[in-house]
Chain A
Amino acid sequence: MNPGSSAAVAVRRRPFTWHRLQKLVAPYVFISPGVIFYLMVTIIPMIWGFWISFHKWSIIWPAHPWVGLANYRALLTEDLFWTSLRNTAVYTAGVVPVELALALMVALLLNTKLRGRGIFRLLYYLPVVTPLSISAVIWQWIYHPHVGLLNWLMRVLRLPTHDWLQEIGTAMLAVVIVGIWSGVGYRMVIFLAALQGIPQTYYEAAMIDGASGFALFRHITLPLLKPATLFVLVTSVMSSFQVFGLVNVLTQGGPLDATNVVVYYIYKRAFGDLQFGLAAAASFVLFAIILVITAIQWKLVGREVSYE
């Protein structure tokens, strides 16, 4: 920046302004793909979806008359929608706590100096990389009433057998089990990463002070796992509320809507009955519920966790 002679400045100015200009423009060039994408694929659809939810809208009719809050009113007075909400809540309540506990337990176990850790980690992670709908196909065979592995096991243990996916009492449980099976591995890796981020020196210092075993876990590990726990909790609840593929392959919402979840309801309303307005309204209710639940979790668990 220091001008020596005017000749030198004249020589240097051109590349220098070019650099300045570049530094000014570069950030916008860099962020534009991401920003444009989110504008087109999330933000505009969100706004448009909101707009659609106030119309009687079907993809086959050219006219979309404005109906105000009629779609929302129809939703809230429809038993099936409430059933689907309740089923989603049941699914979430079944999956999330078990998933969290198992993932934490496995991560703690795998964080010790264990022989063959890599193999175990791989095994636990396999269900995560398996496409959900293919997992569902695999489990369909396990749940099969006549030739399935599960009923075979039940018979060996002299327990009652079931047509797991077709009985009202067992269908949701069967879906929940597959949900847990395919979700634990991902949560485990998050916990594992967090555990490996805890400096060994903390433990050593505490041990010098005479702490051991459970006290170390209680006063060092657990508090330092809080951000990871929050993350796992939030993502796990969010994905449980969006469960669809498992249900669509395993039970199609049946028997008698016992496994009809919100996204399945939205899918059926939009692409089965072509009631896009109603489906868009249901989408908004789902979004609002997820937002509220996440905010509550954030308040309860995450006060001191920052993401900057």
Chain B
Amino acid sequence: MTRADSLHIAGADRRTKTSRRGGRTFVQVLGRILTYVLVAAGAVATATPFVWLILSSFKSLQEVVLFPPTFFPKKPVFSNFREVFSMIPFGRYYLNSIITSVIPTVATVLTSSMTGMGFAKYRFAGRSLLFWIILSTMMVPFPATIVPLYVMVSRAGLVNTYAGLIVVGLSSAFGIFMMRQFIMSIPDELLDAARIDGASEFRIFLQVVMPLTKPAVATLTLFTFTNHWGAYIWPLIVVNSDRLRTLPLAIPYFSGQYFSFQNLINAASLMSIAPVLVLFMFTQRYFVQGIALTGLKS
């Protein structure tokens, strides 16, 4: 922070010098205003659907179908959020989404860290081949494997089960790559010191390496959780009973059945997005740092 600040001051210094020479302050001020205008315009365009969603979820049924549409709810109602639960088994869908997102996320973070650790900190026969194979699976589009995966899962008797939903999400090549890159930046001396103290390899992993990977773990958690929370094609295929529907399946289904109840659909959508928004707010400060430190640095 302080380093960045001093650089900033240095930059400002330089700018005053150039402005003294060429009198560019006006252009700079203009550029600055233009920057704000552009950034704000883009943000407004991006956020409008959300603002619209939020405002509509507080409107009554009569108001939500008005044309021309009202922007702010004339008389905000809060009952929409309650009514969703009585109209559809929303709590059940929510629980399904939590189960099918939390378990794969925890598993992915654990398996990616372990595998990343193996590739980053040990030399062994077949290391580069195996790593290359895992990396290259990133090139395989998931939809291209759904047919054989479905056949496998159905033969295992896992169609219409939580296990069938979860099983395809227990690790991630991206996560392995990211954790490997991150763990490689941890100095070997730290691990050797722990070895001399008699720590086992697994203990080194848990107590020396893992605590240092916080930004990467935070980023990976956000990515993975977001992915699973929004997973669509696999649940669509593997689940056909209403009891196991997750939110990304249930909301479009709800919307298709009761399209005119837009106030309720909006309330349900808003509640469905809430967890990822909260998670993002908590992890976002690690986020750019996490990305910068891993894959893209090279």
Residues of chain A whose beta carbon lies under 8 Å from any beta carbon of chain B: 15, 19, 22-24, 26-31, 33-35, 37-38, 41-46, 48-49, 52, 59, 102, 105-106, 109-110, 112-114, 118, 120-142, 146-147, 149, 152, 155, 181, 184-185, 189-190, 192-194, 196-197, 200, 203-204, 207, 212, 227-228, 231, 238, 241-242, 244-245, 248-249, 263, 266-267, 270-271, 276, 279-280, 283-284, 286-287, 290-291, 294, 305-308
> For residue B273, which residue of chain A has the nearest CB?
A130
Find residues 169-211 in chain B having any chain A CB closer than 8 Å to their own CB: 170-171, 173, 176, 195, 198, 200-202, 205
CB distance from A4 to the nearest CB of B (A): 17
A34 touches B134 (CB 8 A): yes
B133 touches A43 (CB 8 A): yes
What are 13 A-B interface contacts by the 8 Å CB criterion? Answer: A28-B118, A30-B122, A37-B171, A41-B145, A49-B145, A123-B46, A132-B232, A133-B248, A134-B247, A141-B56, A193-B296, A270-B150, A286-B143
- Cβ of B163 within 8 Å of any chain A Cβ, yes or no, is no
Q: How far is the CA of A103 from the CA of B75 in the complex (A)?
A: 38
- Cβ of B280 within 8 Å of any chain A Cβ, yes or no, is yes
Instruction: Count how many pairs of residues, one from A and one from B, have CB atoms less than 8 Å apart in the complex.
Output: 295
Which of B144, B284, B287, B288 gathers the greatest number of chain A CB atoms within 10 Å? B144
With A30-B114, A34-B134, A137-B252 given, is the CB distance from A231 to B148 under 8 Å?
A: no
Q: How far is the CA of A42 from the CA of B145 in the complex (A)?
A: 7
5 more A-B contacts (CB under 8 A) besides A149-B52, A228-B296, A290-B144?
A24-B124, A41-B149, A46-B148, A123-B47, A266-B144
With A27-B124, A38-B133 given, is the CB distance from A152 to B69 under 8 Å?
A: yes
- Number of residues in B with C-beta < 8 Å to the partner? 105
A49 touches B148 (CB 8 A): yes
- Cβ of B251 within 8 Å of any chain A Cβ, yes or no, is yes
CB distance from A185 to the nearest CB of B (A): 8
CB distance from A74 to the nearest CB of B (A): 15
- Cβ of B212 within 8 Å of any chain A Cβ, yes or no, is no
A129 touches B141 (CB 8 A): no
Find residues 60-82 in chain B having any chain A CB closer than 8 Å to their own CB: 64-69
B280 touches A129 (CB 8 A): yes
- Cβ of B1 within 8 Å of any chain A Cβ, yes or no, is no
> For residue B171, which residue of chain A has the nearest CB?
A37
B146 contact set on A, CB distance < 8 A? 266-267, 270, 283
> For residue B45, which residue of chain A has the nearest CB?
A181
Contact of B232 among A110, A245, A305 (CB under 8 A): A245
B137 touches A280 (CB 8 A): no
With A109-B38, A193-B291 given, is the CB distance from A244 to B68 under 8 Å?
A: no
Top 6 closest A-B pairs, CB basis? A34-B115, A30-B118, A131-B230, A27-B122, A31-B118, A26-B201
Residues of chain B whose beta carbon lies under 8 Å from any beta carbon of chain A: 7-8, 10-11, 14, 18, 32, 35-36, 38-39, 42-43, 46-50, 52-53, 56, 64-69, 110-112, 114-115, 117-119, 121-124, 127, 130, 133-134, 137, 139-152, 154, 167-168, 170-171, 173, 176, 195, 198, 200-202, 205, 222, 226, 229-230, 232-233, 236-237, 247-249, 251-252, 255, 262, 265-266, 269, 272-273, 276-277, 279-281, 284, 287-288, 291-292, 295-298
B141 contact set on A, CB distance < 8 A? 238, 241-242, 286-287, 290
A305 contact set on B, CB distance < 8 A? 298
B47 touches A126 (CB 8 A): yes
Q: How far is the CA of A33 from the CA of B276 in the complex (A)?
A: 27
> For residue B131, which residue of chain A has the nearest CB?
A31
B147 touches A49 (CB 8 A): yes
Contact of A19 among B121, B195, B272 (CB under 8 A): B195
A22 contact set on B, CB distance < 8 A? 200-201
CB distance from B126 to the nearest CB of A (A): 9
B148 touches A280 (CB 8 A): yes
Contact of B198 among A15, A30, A137, A307 (CB under 8 A): A15
CB distance from B222 to the nearest CB of A (A): 8
